[in-house]
Chain A
Amino acid sequence: MIILSGDPPRSRALSILLIAIIVALAAVPFLFPGAKAMNVASKICIFAALVASYDLLLGYTGTVSFAHTMFYGIGSYAIAIALYGMGPSWAAIAVGIAVGLPLAALLALGIGLFSLRVEAIFFAMITLAVASAFLVLASQLSWLTGGEDGRSFQLPELLRPGTVFVKDFFGVSINGRTLTYYIVFFASAAMILGLLRVVNSPFGRVLQAVRENRFRAEALGYRTVFHLTYANCLAAVVAASAGVLNAMWLRYAGPDTSLSFAIMLDILLMVVIGGMGTMYGAVIGAAVFILAQNYLQALMGVASNAAAEAGLPLLPGLLHPDRWLLWLGLLFVASVYFFPTGIVGRLRGVTRPKS
């Protein structure tokens, strides 16, 4: 299993679930070519990669960062500003990537070397401070970022919905939008597989050692500040790449879609729900969370109406679509309570050591 870096799902149920999610995501443009389904599917792909990169930090090294959306935002804004400023060309995309990713890496390097030497709580506080400052900066520099409104832009010709490759493929139009979706899908998959490789490398093993007992890792001769900093840089670059994909899909970058702390919270929830320190948890967490976020309301509407028609007391009110946030919250509390090791941990059915 060289593509999985020798770290297979180790649970039949988990394998089936993963395959189902991946097949579904790959088939969405043909099964559900509507805008809503495509948006949800691409968001799952992008967040799976984003959450996986966060898992590298939280799950594997045990460091808590609040700057992950900042890196996500850097990628989003870099591509948005480049395409907005230079016009819809491939050169603009290249410039956006060539500026955004190194910028994210450098910033992560600086933060890491500065604050990963000491207590983990210091790093958490610094990332919170830097991310807050960045958020303010992004809204202040409105000549560059578009402020609160963000930046909308056009993609190159090839990636536009108007570019039709196959007019009618069993009733589905294959166009630039389809191509963009597959770019998102494959780029996300490549990043997740890359991260899986990293966490299963000798370097990744040191990260786990640092999480378990940093003092001892140092005593063995590992200069852990560098391991943590490199992990931080790598996570930042993947987050920024996810940001690039996000902006390309939305043809827009703004504070709410790429920088806000609400996204940071979503990432945290997804990594915990999926299962920390597993990588596969990112895929499951993102899929479950985003599906719930998008379809719970509709599902509740159906359930509420059904309950009302059946003449049941109380239930129609409880299940009213306006209460969906309450139920979403309860769902997460319950999942964290019942699956403390996440869905992946639960499906693997054990808390055995990672050998």
Chain B
Amino acid sequence: MTTLETQNLTIRFGGHVAVNAVSCAFRPGELTAIVGPNGAGKTTYFNLISGQLRPSEGSVLFDGQDITNLSAPLRTRAGLGRAFQLTNLFPNLSVEENVRLAVQAHSGTQYDMLRPWRTRRDLIERADAILDSVALGARRDVAATALSHGDQRKLEVALMMALQPKVYMFDEPTAGMSVDEVPVVLDLIARLKNDASKIILLVEHKMDVVRSLADRIIVLHNGQLVADGKPAEVIASPIVQEAYLGIAPGKNAA
């Protein structure tokens, strides 16, 4: 069974504590939404889990192993999948090639130098199937940089899907998307929830999205974990009303 846990996870940038002693365990079959105001440390928390940053203190445990000192590529191979908040693609490669590279990584084909890549039909077909699943099939031959912002966000998600990870980490997957593009991504996440062996982490500002998808919400504020629980409880709690929705307690609006 997949397990993921952070213990006392802390990182300081100079004097600024971006993530402050966050201890939290994530369970398979559960979609945890991570919310909090801008600069709360959500993305930094993700970077600590997926290995882009090393903590000043604390540790990350994955499948019973302490992976705190594992590099990002090794964490990915272990099963931690990441879709970035700031779209992070191979800009001049085609859309298909972007995904194919992710499929290739997942297939474990690292150093095969001797056969032409096109002979690996299996990788190409798998990439095309994933592109179809995010409604990008028709755009497969254009350069990633030529995609609209919304399509780039979808491609970003497609790269993670191609890795078939045990843990999916979505960092504001629908940010900046037009309303008609959002459902494709949300459907995709909803479908992932059918697999009870996966851990899904979702950073999201849109409360309606959080409400409809999350099984659990944790709230980060100034790098600290300030609330953790069922969506309805957490959203109703004063600390969220204040910290996240910016509503002072007492002056509670409907």
- Residues on A lying within 8 angstroms of B by beta carbon are 2, 5-7, 197-198, 200-206, 208-209, 212-213, 215-224, 226-227, 230, 234, 352-355
Contact = CB atoms under 8 A, between A and B. Distances in A.
B72 A209 contact: no
Interface string B88-99: 111111101100
A223 B74 contact: yes
B90 A203 contact: no
Contacts of A226: 110-111
Contacts of B110: 202-203, 206, 222-223, 226-227
Contacts of B114: 197, 201
Contacts of A203: 110-113
Given A205-B97, A219-B50, A213 B102 contact: no
A213 B89 CA distance: 7
Contacts of B102: 220
A322 B135 CA distance: 64
B91 A6 contact: no
A118 to B, nearest CB: 13
B238 to A, nearest CB: 38
Contacts, number: 122
Given A209-B90, A219-B72, A201 B117 contact: yes
B250 interface: no
B44 to A, nearest CB: 15
A116 to B, nearest CB: 14
B73 A221 contact: yes
B23 to A, nearest CB: 25
5 contacts: A200-B117, A202-B115, A202-B120, A206-B104, A219-B84
B76 interface: yes
Contacts of A198: 113
A5 B117 CA distance: 9
Given A203-B110, A212-B92, A355-B96, A220 B101 contact: yes
Contact of A221 (B96, B100, B141, B163): B163
B92 A204 contact: no
Given A200-B117, A219-B50, A353 B101 contact: no
A202 B110 CA distance: 7
Nearest to B123: A202
Complex A-B, nearest 7 residue pairs according to Cβ-Cβ distance, in ascending order: A353-B143, A221-B76, A212-B90, A355-B94, A220-B105, A221-B105, A6-B116
Contacts of A209: 90, 93, 101
- Size category of the binding interface on chain B: 35 or more
B103 to A, nearest CB: 10
Given A212-B91, A212-B92, A221-B76, 13 more contacts: A6-B116, A197-B113, A201-B114, A202-B110, A202-B112, A202-B117, A203-B110, A205-B100, A208-B90, A209-B101, A215-B88, A216-B90, A221-B74
Contacts of B54: none
Given A209-B93, A223-B71, A355-B94, A201 B115 contact: yes
A98 B117 CA distance: 31
Contacts of B73: 218-224
B159 interface: yes
B118 interface: yes
A200 B101 contact: no
Residue in B72, B88, B102, B113 whose Cβ sees the most chain A Cβ within 10 Å: B113
A223 B94 CA distance: 22
A203 B116 CA distance: 9
Residue of A2, A226, A234, A355 with highest tally of chain B CB at under 10 A: A355
B211 interface: no
Contacts of A234: 113
A219 B52 CA distance: 8
Interface string B127-163: 0000000000000011110000000000000010001
Contacts of A223: 71, 73-74, 110
Nearest to B100: A205
Contact of B111 (A5, A221, A227): A227
Given A213-B91, A222-B105, A355-B141, A197 B116 contact: yes
B93 A220 contact: no
A230 B82 CA distance: 27
Contacts of B74: 221, 223
Interface string B189-225: 0000000000000000000000000000000000000
Contacts of A2: 116
A354 B116 contact: no
B126 interface: no
Contacts of A213: 88-91
B108 to A, nearest CB: 9
Interface string B159-176: 100010000000000000
A203, A218, A220 — most chain B CB neighbours (10 Å): A220
Contacts of B111: 203, 226-227, 230
Contacts of B93: 208-209, 212, 353-355
B115 to A, nearest CB: 6
A215 B82 CA distance: 12
Given A201-B115, A203-B111, A218 B91 contact: no
A2 B163 CA distance: 30
